[in-house]
Structure 1
Amino acid sequence: MSEDAEQQAEEIEVLKSIYEGDENFKQVDATTYQYKYIEGDKSFVLEIKWGPTYPTEKPKCNLEIFYNQHLLPSVKEKILTIVDAEAEQWVGCAMTYTLFECLKEKVVEILSEQTEEAVVVRVEKIAIDDQTESKKPEKKEQLTKAQKRRAWDRAEIGRAGEKPRGWDWVDIVKHLSQAPHQPSS
């Protein structure tokens, strides 16, 4: 086992013990971790993905997650700048916990730039675009009551064209009563 792999295994164990019971922490897979930052009614998720040579190289930080669609590009850039600057200081050491905690201290400052007006404007643009491209649903063929009854009787609707069980069975009693019985002599 290489030294990087040993350090990764050790850091996984440490992260699990530190964040045990923390609903904001999530281990996506063996090398990908997410932490959800919440400040009032504003929040975002930071995803950190380790490379094969982590911790001797910086991990990849990702904010392009569906949950973060509401974030302004300037806020995303600021978050990534803060995390990248912190990661530069800790190259060669286990840094996932440090990066998550660094943002915890600055989350109020970061999210203060996230204005509700900007988000509302972006949502309004989306709503306007959707209205211009609306399509009318196709109309189904309307059947009269008599047409529906005939279709039902023919069993095209309801049983998908299947006939009821025994529709072609012969009534044995009726069949035997039709032929005269001749006693054998």
Structure 2
Amino acid sequence: MSANEDQEMELEALRSIYEGDECFKELSPTTFQFRIGDHEDPKAFLLDVSWPETYPETAPQLTLQAFFNNRISPTTKQDIISKLEEQVEANLGTAMMYTLFEWAKENQADLMEHHQPVKDAATLNPSNETSSPVCSNKKKEKKEQLTKAQKRKMISRTDNKGELPRGWNWVDVIKLSKTGGAAED
């Protein structure tokens, strides 16, 4: 069998096994995402797998670069990838995705045993240490909120372009002159 036939057969098997499973996501016919653990589980992670053209004769590409994994330290990610790559090497030449996903689910505790949650992934610097958190005591200035009546009044004053007509806030000089609105001495 050619590599493409093997891939098609494994893809069909994965679709039938994981149909309706929210942990499995097929991003393309050769790229998959599998969540190990529940959403609420702090030790859960998303495994991204991509098949090269010659898969299963060559190893698939495994990554943990999904945003979901930002709370996992880089050293823990590297440990997980290296342990998964050992499983890939043991299964090279065969359809291994189901085996790999199930092995990761069964060994999730071992894979995440040294996991120390990263509090804020944005504060990581390249040396994998967390820097002191930046204090953000700035309060956003609130815009003055208009009531519905005020909004309706504003809309009724505008033309079809949303602009107020020229002189909308001018005093009607003619009315004032007729009513005797001039200052009294």
Q: Could you say if the C-alpha distance between residues 152 and 60 of structure 1 is closer, same or farther in structure 2, counting changes exceeding 3 Å?
A: closer
- When normalised by structure 1's length, the TM-score is 0.66
The CA deviation string for residues 67-111 of structure 1, in whole angstroms up to 9 with x for no partner, is: 100001121011101111111112211111111112112101222
Q: Distance in 2 between matches of 1:122 and 1:61?
A: 21
Q: Distance in 1 between matches of 2:4 and 2:156?
A: 72
Shift of residue 49, structure 1, vs aligned partner: 0.4
CA contact under 8 A between 1:25 and 1:34: conserved in structure 2?
yes
Paired position in structure 1 for 2:174: none
Paired position in structure 1 for 2:136: 131
Paired position in structure 2 for 1:77: 78
The CA deviation string for residues 88-138 of structure 1, in whole angstroms up to 9 with x for no partner, is: 11221111111111211210122232134xx23767767833639x7987x
SS in 1 for 2:112: helix
Structure 2: gaps spanning 5 or more residues: 124-129, 144-153, 167-185
SS in 2 for 1:103: helix
Q: Could you say if the C-alpha distance between residues 160 and 54 of structure 1 is closer, same or farther in structure 2, counting changes exceeding 3 Å?
A: same
CA contact under 8 A between 2:80 and 2:112: conserved in structure 1?
no
CA contact under 8 A between 1:48 and 1:61: conserved in structure 2?
yes
Q: Could you say if the C-alpha distance between residues 153 and 15 of structure 1 is closer, same or farther in structure 2, counting changes exceeding 3 Å?
A: closer
Shift of residue 48, structure 1, vs aligned partner: 0.6
Q: Distance in 2 between matches of 1:5 and 1:114?
A: 38
Q: Which residue identity lines up with residue 136 of structure 2 in the other structure?
A: Q
Q: Could you say if the C-alpha distance between residues 152 and 110 of structure 1 is closer, same or farther in structure 2, counting changes exceeding 3 Å?
A: closer
SS in 2 for 1:27: strand
Q: Could you say if the C-alpha distance between residues 26 and 126 of structure 1 is closer, same or farther in structure 2, counting changes exceeding 3 Å?
A: farther
Paired position in structure 1 for 2:37: 38
1:1-185 equivalence runs, <5 A: 3-38=2-37, 40-116=41-117, 119-120=118-119, 128-129=133-134, 131=136, 159-160=162-163
Number of residue equivalences:
148
Q: Distance in 1 between matches of 2:133 and 2:13?
A: 48
Q: Which residue identity lines up with residue 92 of structure 2 in the other structure?
A: V
- When normalised by structure 2's length, the TM-score is 0.66
Shift of residue 42, structure 1, vs aligned partner: 2.6
Paired position in structure 1 for 2:173: none
Q: Could you say if the C-alpha distance between residues 126 and 161 of structure 1 is closer, same or farther in structure 2, counting changes exceeding 3 Å?
A: farther
Structure 1: gaps spanning 5 or more residues: 141-150, 164-185
Shift of residue 159, structure 1, vs aligned partner: 3.0
Q: Could you say if the C-alpha distance between residues 26 and 154 of structure 1 is closer, same or farther in structure 2, counting changes exceeding 3 Å?
A: closer
**Percent of aligned pairs with the same residue?**
32
Q: Which has the higher helix share?
A: 1
Look at both structures and tell me which one has the larger radius of gyration over its CA atoms: 1
